[in-house]
């Protein structure tokens, strides 16, 4: 497994997948072959009816397999933000409703939620954490019949808390609200099944646990209810394709203002020509995750995270996170903690310092390419500076 990730050779222990995942070498071959086809202008390289089955449909199939859903409910996005924006912009809220989120969310969510609320005259209600964690009772108090949507992360990026996503979905749906989830810190590391969780939208960029950094790739899951009610801006390629496109282009009798019917699957949110290069890059990464098996990956990731937590608790530190992400709340002065992280990184032990609203700590996030020896190297390294 480790031989598939040449990037590991640069480090003694890379434990920062929550910041950026590593790219498997299997991506290189398929991306290179695709680019060569484009450069050589291979026959069909300009035809949607050929590009879609060759490059887009296979990655949607792999994503559907990972999430235990159907390909019709899966679309491609440009990392996470693009998917969140497209999903929200396809919905039409009533004025003076409210949109709910949480105080420690990644700034992408706060920016998207606040700007969307301003555009549609919605109130924003932010649920406050208690010592960095959230309780379902506070969610129950916040959600009511005036709630348009609840937008949040399945796993919190700072603390590593795995949110009670299924319970939040049930409460929100009792009041007719939409549930829109950012799964960039869980999909690919944990078993994340949107239909089982009951969410309406789930978006995850490829740059972290999906092993597709800097490829501009991402996945969108859209529920049947969302597909039925969403009203995106219609372009050309999110409409039902004429068969074949090659005949339609040259049809002398077509009326160019007679808009084709919008698609009924997740591709109704496509912004235009699909990002085929991103699809090509993402497929081998998803194949690797599916071949190993998400259950096995989750088991191993959680086992390594538990090693970190056990050590931290033995040392008397507070620990946040019940997922594959652990925040070690050291309790030491912020600048000193920052210096420890810098020294660890200089040693080739890659972790990160994360914090907000007075909470801060050292974040450790192992993935499928890590071993218990990596955790031991981290422990050995950090004990030199404490």
Which pLDDT does position 247 carry in this prediction? Answer: 87
CA torsion 152-72-367-342 (nearest 10°) is -50
Band of pLDDT at residue 244, cut at 50, 70 and 90 = confident
Q: Determine the Cα–Cα distance for residues 78 and 206; give it in Å rounded to an integer.
A: 9
315-333 residue pLDDT tens? 999 999 999 999 999 999 9
**Looking at the chain, which residues constitute the CATH 3.90.1150.10 domain(s)?**
2-17+294-382
**Looking at the chain, which residues constitute the CATH 3.40.640.10 domain(s)?**
26-291
The answer to whether the beta carbons of residues 16 and 266 sit under 8 Å apart is: no
Question: Is the pLDDT assigned to residue 243 strictly greater than 80?
Answer: no
Closest CA to 351 of 314, 379, 321, 323: 379
48-73 residue pLDDT tens? 999 999 999 999 999 999 999 999 99
Q: Which helix (H) or strand (E) holds 299?
A: helix 294-314
Options 3.40.640.10, 1.10.10.10, 3.90.550.10, 3.90.1150.10; which CATH number does 26-291 get?
A: 3.40.640.10
How crowded is the C-beta side of 236, counted as CA atoms within 13 Å? 9
Q: Determine the Cα–Cα distance for residues 67 and 201; give it in Å rounded to an integer.
A: 12
166-208 residue pLDDT tens? 999 999 999 999 999 999 999 999 999 999 999 999 999 999 9
* CA distances from residue 332 to 129, 140, 288, 307, 351 in whole angstroms, order as listed: 21, 35, 40, 21, 17
First to last CA, the chain: 33
Question: Is the pLDDT assigned to residue 9 strictly greater than 90?
Answer: yes
pTM of the model: 0.96
Options 3.30.70.270, 3.30.420.40, 3.40.50.11930, 3.90.1150.10; which CATH number does 2-17+294-382 get?
A: 3.90.1150.10
């Amino acid at each position: 497994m480790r031989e598939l990730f040449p990037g590991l050779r640069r480090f003694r222990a890379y434990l920062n997948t929550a910041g950026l995942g590593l790219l498997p070498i299997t991506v290189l071959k398929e991306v290179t072959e695709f680019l060569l086809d484009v450069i050589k202008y291979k026959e069909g390289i300009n035809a949607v009816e050929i590009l879609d089955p060759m490059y887009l449909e296979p990655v949607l199939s792999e994503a559907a397999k990972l999430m235990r859903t159907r390909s019709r409910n899966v679309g491609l996005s440009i990392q996470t933000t693009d998917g969140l924006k497209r999903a929200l912009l396809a919905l039409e809220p009533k004025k003076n409703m409210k949109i709910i989120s949480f105080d420690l969310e990644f700034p992408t969510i706060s920016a998207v939620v606040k700007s969307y609320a301003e555009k549609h005259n919605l109130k924003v209600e932010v649920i406050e954490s208690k010592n960095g964690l959230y309780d379902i009772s506070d969610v129950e108090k916040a959600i009511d019949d005036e709630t348009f949507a609840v937008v949040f992360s399945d796993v919190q990026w700072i603390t590593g808390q795995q949110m009670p996503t299924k319970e939040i979905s049930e409460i929100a749906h009792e009041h007719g609200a939409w549930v829109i989830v950012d799964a960039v810190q869980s999909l690919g590391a944990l078993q994340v099944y949107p239909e089982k969780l009951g969410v309406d939208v789930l978006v995850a960029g490829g740059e972290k646990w999906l092993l597709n950094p800097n490829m501009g790739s991402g996945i969108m899951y859209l529920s049947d209810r969302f597909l039925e009610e969403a009203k995106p801006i219609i372009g050309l390629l999110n409409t039902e394709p004429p068969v074949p496109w090659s005949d339609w282009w040259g049809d002398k009798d077509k009326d160019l203002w007679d808009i084709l019917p919008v698609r009924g699957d997740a591709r109704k949110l496509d912004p235009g020509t699909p990002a085929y290069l991103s699809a090509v890059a993402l497929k081998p990464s998803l194949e690797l995750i599916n071949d190993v098996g998400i259950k096995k990956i989750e088991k191993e990731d959680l086992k390594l995270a538990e090693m970190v937590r056990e050590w931290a608790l033995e040392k008397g530190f507070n620990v946040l996170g019940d997922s594959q992400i652990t925040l070690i709340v050291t309790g030491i002065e912020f600048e000193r903690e920052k210096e420890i992280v810098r020294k660890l990184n200089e040693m080739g032990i890659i972790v990160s310092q994360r914090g907000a609203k007075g909470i801060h700590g050292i974040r450790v996030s192992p993935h499928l390419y890590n071993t218990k020896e990596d955790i031991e190297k981290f422990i050995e390294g950090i004990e030199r500076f404490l």
